Structure 1
C-alpha cells in the first residue's frame, strides 16, 4: 500500500530552489502551497492568479469567503473548510453565518444564497444559467461574476490537491480552532 502522504508539505530545508523567492511569502505560510511546491513550475505559475483570486477580486472579503467555503463544502475538503472558517472569522463573519454556508441555500442570507447557489450550479450544471448570471451581476457586478467562476475553479484545483495528498491543516489554524471551536 502506498503512503497517502507521498507529497507532504515541503519543509524549508527541502524547499525547491526554483521557487525560493516564494517561500518567505504566501507559499511558505500554508501547507497547501508547501504541498504544491512538489511541482515548482505550477506553484510559480499559480502565484499571479492567486494574487487576483485571493486578494484583488471584486467580491470583497466576506463574499469571497462565502464562495470559498461553499466550494470547499462541495469538494468535501476538510482543509479548505477549516482554513476558511478561520479566515471568515477574521473578516467578521459569525459562526452561525459560516455554518449556514454548508446548509440549504434557502436557510442563508440573501446575498450568501446568491453566491452559494452560483457555486452549486457550477458544480452541478457546469455553467451559470442566465438567471444566476443576472443575480450575480446585480450583487457583485460583471467582474464579480467572473471572479465567482474563477474562485470556484481556483479552489477546486486546490481542493483536489488537498484531498488527493491528504494535506494536513496548518498547525496555527488547527490550534486556533482548538482554542475557539467552531459552533456553526
Structure 2
C-alpha cells in the first residue's frame, strides 16, 4: 500500500476537467492516474504523448529500446516493468531486453550509448549525433532526445509519488520475470 500524497486517482474521484480523457490513455494506467492530480498537465501532456508514443520517427521497437534504456538508467521499476511488457508484445526477446541493462551490440548499442550520453553529458556529441543521424535519420534523433526527456519526466513523477505498477503488468512480471529486473 502506498502512502503517497498523490496515489492514482480512482474513477469515482476523477477530475471533471479531464473527464474526456478518463476512457482513453489517461485512465488506462496508474502513471496518468497519478498525473491526474494536475488536470492541466495531463491535458497539455496529451499531444506530446501522442507524438512520442504513437507517431515517433523511431518506430515502436526503437522507441522501446530508448525507453527501456532510460528506465534502466533512472532505476524506475514502473517504467522498466511496463516497457518490458510492451517490448515483449512487439516481439522483442527477453535476451534482447535484458541486454539493454548492459551495453548491447549493433543498433541497440548505438541507441543505448545515445541515451547514456543524454543522462551523463546532457547532450549528444557531434560525432554521436552524426552516427545516429546516419543510422536512424535526423528526425529520429530529435525523437530519441524527446523520448528520453518525456520518459525522464514520467520517471520523476512515478518515483516521487511511488506509483504502483499496474496490476496486469505486475502479474506478468511475477509470472514471467526478466532475470535481474528491478523490483
TM-score of the two chains, using structure 2 as the length reference: 0.95
Equivalent runs, 1:104-183 vs 2, <5 Å = 105=103, 108-183=104-179
Aligned partners of 2:51 and 2:3: how far apart in 1? 31
Aligned partners of 1:169 and 1:115: how far apart in 2? 26
Counterpart contact for 1:96–1:183, Cα < 8 Å: no
Structure 2: runs of 5+ lacking an equivalent: none
CA displacement at 1:4 relative to structure 2? 4.2
2:24 aligned residue? 25
Equivalent runs, 1:61-140 vs 2, <5 Å = 61-103=60-102, 105=103, 108-140=104-136
Aligned partners of 1:125 and 1:69: how far apart in 2? 19
CA displacement at 1:141 relative to structure 2? 0.5
Aligned partners of 1:153 and 1:10: how far apart in 2? 24
User: 1:149 is paired with a residue of what secondary structure?
Assistant: helix
| TM-superposition CA deviations, 1:4-42 (whole Å, max 9, x none) | 411000000000000111100011111000000000000
Aligned partners of 1:84 and 1:25: how far apart in 2? 19
Aligned partners of 1:90 and 1:183: how far apart in 2? 18
CA displacement at 1:181 relative to structure 2? 2.1
TM-score of the two chains, using structure 1 as the length reference: 0.94
Aligned partners of 1:31 and 1:180: how far apart in 2? 21
Structure 1: runs of 5+ lacking an equivalent: none
Aligned residues: 179
| TM-superposition CA deviations, 1:42-101 (whole Å, max 9, x none) | 000000000000110011111100100111111110000011000000001000100010
CA RMSD of aligned residues (A): 1.1
Aligned partners of 1:126 and 1:82: how far apart in 2? 25
Aligned partners of 2:105 and 2:10: how far apart in 1? 41
Aligned partners of 1:124 and 1:137: how far apart in 2? 20
Aligned partners of 1:68 and 1:139: how far apart in 2? 18
